[in-house]
Structure 1
Amino acid sequence: MTGSMWRRVTLRGLLPRRDDFELRPAVMRSDLLAGVTVGVVALPLALAFGVSSGVGPAAGLVTAVVAGIMAALFGGSRVQVSGPTGAMAVVLAPIVAEHGVKAVPVVALMGGAIVLLAGVARLGRVVTYIPWPVVEGFTLGIATIIFLQQVPAAVGVTEPVGGNPLVTALTSLADAGSTALWTLGIVAVVVLIMLAFARWAPQVPGSLVAVAVVTIGAELLGAPVARIGELPASLPAPGLPGLSLGLLRELASPAVAVAALAAIESLLSARVAASMPGVPDDARRYDPDRELVGQGLASLAAGAFGGMPATGAIARTAVNVRAGARTRLAAVVHAVVILAVIYLATGPVSTIPLAALAGVLMVTATKMVSLATVRSVVRSTKADALVFAVTAVITLAVDLIEAVQVGLVVAAFFALRSVSRAASVHRQPLPGPAHEGDEHIALYRLDGAMFFGASDRIQALIARNRDAWVVVLRLSHLRFVDATGAHALGELVADLERAGIVVLVKGVQPAHLALLTSVGVLDELRHESHVFDELEPALEHARSHVLQRAMTAAA
């Protein structure tokens, strides 16, 4: 197959296929019902995440519609639902504070392009390398930020987005004014209704019922609280935002952060969705590369319509699965439901109190974190508990992407430490009947990995033994050797040879031979014949050397 043909075949696998949908009436009915259910659940969340990010509720609705349809058609999961999310709102808030609202569509375009290219480059499997404690710490940090970001609206204080959420929340509590009782009452009613429906009527979208109840109540009582305000009665016309080289340069770093978050959150959500109970067998298979392509196109489309970057939304995806979704049609219908609200019901939606959305997000944030999962991570190992805590704290105090990076580094450090501790060197007794002079032969077996995390320790253990005339190194049990480990092994051989100790090497694996040769380990041996495949010839050679040395010393 030629290169051009291979590229066509590869790219074809990233595009929609005929079997993405099932047109059987039973399946379509199930998808339509699931789509309507998710659309009703997603409506208040889209509004809330738009407000929370600082972009505005209209951008949240636009993103839910445009990105929801694009990701459903082009994504790699049959049951994933995409749109604005709390994690993305957390990332966008400081971008809005520093660069203004107009920067968000540009970031969406740039971040979407990066995610699209990552999918075309087949980088979808990278997310599988993110350790579980990092993911859970990341989730806890995001949930905490989302909750804290709602405190100003909950106490009736208007605060600029983008500041440290903990500081902003504490400042808002200190600045709470006369409307705080109204807003806190609205939040309390929303929370109580959502919790009640979650317990006694989980099939009913409690968030929508709660928002409707407090909105009607606020209108009847004339509550002096901030509302969503005017919304567009139609989708805006697509177009490119104003671009300049300077603006692109300023937004390059935020765009990378947005792309990383979009890729990580979407792939994690798709992976979780594939393992949920009730997912049809044919929906358990998802294509991570195609998922990146779909999410990249979704953010590109949302940016063109003036919306926000989008990601897979695990909460809405879970609702979709529980509602009986079978194919991508359910996610498309969810977007159409929100589109209908834009064209038919923006008047009532504009009267929703911001405190009601704050209550919805507070409940959503608490549901993002499972106490059982947190306990499992904390009780697993001290290293995992530390990785979890570090990731959560840095997410809250510094930055989401830096938290993932630091979490990965800390997890990698503990993983390397664990592997290096598994690497060991043992002095073994010589097999078979004892021979005269065997006390001058030291037989060492190297196990595990000879790499930069373990080489110094192994080198020190062997070099400490100076009573031997011959050292036999058994390398057949080494599973891994890197350049640093090979270099340390060469230094060990050279050090022993300089001390007058003959080194014999037994059992060099073919996979390690090229590295040991190129680094010069075998060149440090006294003779090229000092490399053996079997232990018995090596010991015979060692005993003959000891005998010869003893005779020389006696003479």
Structure 2
Amino acid sequence: MISLSTYRREWFSSIRADLLSGIVVALALIPEAIGFSVIAGVDPKVGLFASFAIACVSAITGGRPGMISAATAATAVLMVTLVKEHGLQYLFAATLLMGLLQILAGLARLGRVMRFVSKSVMTGFVNALAILIFMAQLPELIGVPVATYVMIAAGLAIIYLFPYVTKAIPSPLVAIVVLTGLSIGFGMDLRTVGDLGELPSSLPIFALPQVPLTFETLQIIFPYSAALAAVGLLESLLTARIVDDMTDTTSSKSQECIGQGASNIASGLIGGMGGCAMIGQSVINISSGGRGRLSTFVAGTFLLFLILVLDDVVKIIPMAALVAVMIMVSIGTFSWRSIPDLRRNPLPSSIVMLATVITVVATHDLSLGVLAGVLLSGIFFAGKVAKLFHVRSTLSEDGGHRIYRIDGEIFFASTEGFIAAFDFAEPVKAVTLDVSRAHLWDISAVGALDQVVLKFRRHNILVDVIGLNEASSSMIDRYALHDKEHASLSAAAH
């Protein structure tokens, strides 16, 4: 639970920087929100209202100050079929259920699962996202007038050089203002924000989705809501970790789950789509000096102000200015150090990173890439731990008793080597299995020990298992068969 003093500091510790960075983010959110609305097959106002609601509510209820949440491509692609087959009202209902599921995940403290995401997966996630951000700008770079390239180059020059003059004003904001002024002053025929779609002209209206409150409705929306909730939380928690690293601070992942859920419920109630954290806009915010909750709140409120009050000004902003900002984000997001690290890091780590990047870029699905990376990490880790296992043995002077000393972890990946380490045909009268320096982790380990003991007994060799620790002994008592077989044979003999 966040203390009141901490919460107050997260709001008001850097007011000026948060205000300016929030304005920059709001400008960058407009084309993104409109574009994601197009992907989902809905009116631009659905994405714009969603971005407003999600940003403002997550600023209040989220667990990661300075992180930007809004309508995103990751969630938009999951909505297409629902909107096409059942209509917009079912999308709003699915968004409400999505939010509820995310709140339940937060209360269940599912944010802790992020500890299973390795550094290699994180690096792959960041690099893939940087590539996707750049690829998303390609439509604005292909088949356009030469003036567009000149404006983008000028925008990048301002973004990277203006901080040498002063850091009091975020350079991306300066770039947007200057390029808009140049475009109007020289009468350039460039693609503008207004060309993306019609901006809303009135405030959003609070209303419940107009769908039947029946079990059939639940059957329709639940699969979509579950997928949206999972993808939204995955991207949000990964982005939160990245912002943690960028700011050298920590955040509450479980509270972030609750915050994302509350944000999506608010979005659904005002006619918005579901969303989650956005790494690109979060990087813009952090790079522009935004660190507190105020920056996220300003991004949402100023976005609404822009589209309702300053819509005539927003419409004339050249897309070249926003493309320059997003290219800066792409460059800043990519982990350039990871390229030389490919040769320095262990091969499995490099494979995991590359697999994550390739999967995300090929499918445009961040969750699939992270899933592939986590699975590969698990496989490589299991293989590495399995190799640490070994068995040593000594034979008594009379040749009738062999002692096997087992070291390491016995689990599903090491059971084959465990069984192969014993000579069941050796002409001895008794064997002792000393597992005092080993640990049985799962049912597969218990089954392997069963198999070894029973094989020895079939060869009329007495077996004694010693040194079981408390956890391993508990598993043996519950699941092992060799003790039960031994007990039944003893009873039959009597």
Asked whether the two chains share a fold, i.e. TM above 0.5, the reply is: yes
2:132 corresponds to which of 145, 155, 177: 145
1:52-451 matched pairs, under 5 angstroms: 52-55=35-38, 58=45, 61-77=48-64, 79-84=65-70, 88-93=72-77, 95-96=79-80, 99=83, 102=88, 105=92, 108-155=95-142, 176=143, 179-197=144-162, 201-229=166-194, 230-243=198-211, 252-274=222-244, 284=250, 286-313=251-278, 328-376=293-341, 379-398=344-363, 399-428=365-394, 435=397, 437=398, 439-451=399-411
Task: Tell me if the contact between 1:30 and 1:325 (Cα under 8 Å) persists in the aligned partners.
Answer: no
Q: State the SS of the aligned residue for 2:205.
A: coil
- Matched ranges for 1:391-540 at <5 A: 391-398=356-363, 399-428=365-394, 435=397, 437=398, 439-463=399-423, 466-517=426-477, 518-523=479-484
Q: Deviations over 1:371-399 (max 9, x none)?
A: 11454466321111111111111111123
Alpha carbons 1:487, 1:521 under 8 Å: kept:
no
The residue that corresponds to 1:171 in the other structure is none
Q: Distance in 2 between matches of 1:191 and 1:464?
A: 72
Amino acid in structure 2 at the alignment position of 1:520:
L
Q: In the TM superposition, what whole-angstrom CA distance separates every residue of 1:377-426 from its partner, at most 9, and x where no partner exists?
A: 66321111111111111111123222222222211111111121122212
Cα pair distance change 1:31/1:342, threshold 3 Å: farther
Q: 2 CA distance for matches of 1:322 and 1:135? A: 20
Amino acid in the other structure paired with 1:137: G
The one-letter code of the counterpart of 1:40 is: I
- Structure 2, unpaired ranges of 5+: none
Determine the C-alpha separation between the residues in 2 that align with 1:425 and 1:528: 29
Q: CA shift at 1:141, angstroms?
A: 1.8
Scaled by the length of structure 1, the TM-score of the pair is 0.75
Mapped contact 1:257–1:401 kept (Cα < 8 A): no
Match of 1:34 among 6, 17, 37: 17
Separation in 2, partners of 1:374, 1:57: 38
Q: How many angstroms apart in 2 are the aligned matches of 1:199 and 1:522?
A: 76
Whether the aligned pair in 2 keeps the contact of 1:493 and 1:525 (CA below 8 Å) is no
Q: Secondary structure at the match of 1:235?
A: coil
**TM superposition shift of 1:219:** 2.5
SS at match of 1:476: strand
Distance in structure 1 (CA, Å) of the matches to 2:132 and 2:281? 20
Q: Would you say the 8 A contact 1:422–1:448 is kept in 2?
A: yes
Shift of 1:293: 0.8
Name the % identity.
26
1:74 touches 1:294 (CA, 8 Å); kept in 2?
A: yes
Find the aligned partners of 1:355 and 1:328 in 2 and give their Cα distance.
Answer: 29
Instruction: Identify if the C-alpha distance between structure 1 residues 105 and 226 changes in structure 2 by more than 3 Å, giving closer, same or farther.
Output: farther
Residue aligned with 1:445, SS: strand
Distance 1:401 1:331, change over 3 A: closer
Q: Cα–Cα, structure 1 residues 262 and 200, in superposed 2: closer, same or farther, change >3 Å?
A: farther
Deviation at 1:456, TM superposition (A): 1.5
Aligned length: 476
Q: Distance in 1 between matches of 2:391 and 2:59?
A: 55
Deviation at 1:454, TM superposition (A): 0.9
Deviation, 1:294, is 0.9
Contact 1:427 1:442 in 2 (8 A): yes
Q: Quick one: distance in 2 between partners of 1:338 and 1:365?
A: 22
Structure 1 residues 324, 91: closer, same or farther in 2, change over 3 A?
closer
Q: Secondary structure at the match of 2:421?
A: helix
**Amino acid in the other structure paired with 1:139:** V
Q: Secondary structure at 1:191's aligned position in 2?
A: helix
Partner of 1:47: 30
Greater RCO (CA < 8 Å, at least 6 residues apart): 2
Question: Shift of the alpha carbon at 1:327?
Answer: 5.7
**Aligned residue type for 1:261:** V
The answer on whether the counterparts of 1:30 and 1:324 sit within 8 Å (CA) in structure 2 is no
Tell me, yes or no, if the aligned pair for 2:439 and 2:472 is still in contact at 8 Å.
Answer: no
**Distance in 2 (alpha carbons) for counterparts of 1:49 and 1:190:** 18
8 Å contact 1:463–1:492 — kept in the other structure? no
* 1:29–1:146 distance in 2 versus 1, CA, 3 Å: closer
Q: Structure 1: 5+ residue runs without aligned partners?
A: 1-12, 156-175, 530-555
Deviation at residue 361 of structure 1 after TM alignment: 1.9
State the one-letter code of the partner of 1:76.
G
* Higher CA-based Rg: 1
Root-mean-square deviation (CA, aligned residues, Å) is: 3.4
Q: In structure 2, how many angstroms separate the alpha carbons of the residues matched to 1:464 and 1:224?
A: 84
- Check the 8 A contact 1:139/1:368 in 2, yes or no: yes
Q: Conserved in 2, the CA contact under 8 Å of 1:423 and 1:450?
A: yes
Amino acid at match of 1:397: A
CA–CA distance in structure 1, aligned partners of residues 440 and 138 of structure 2: 52
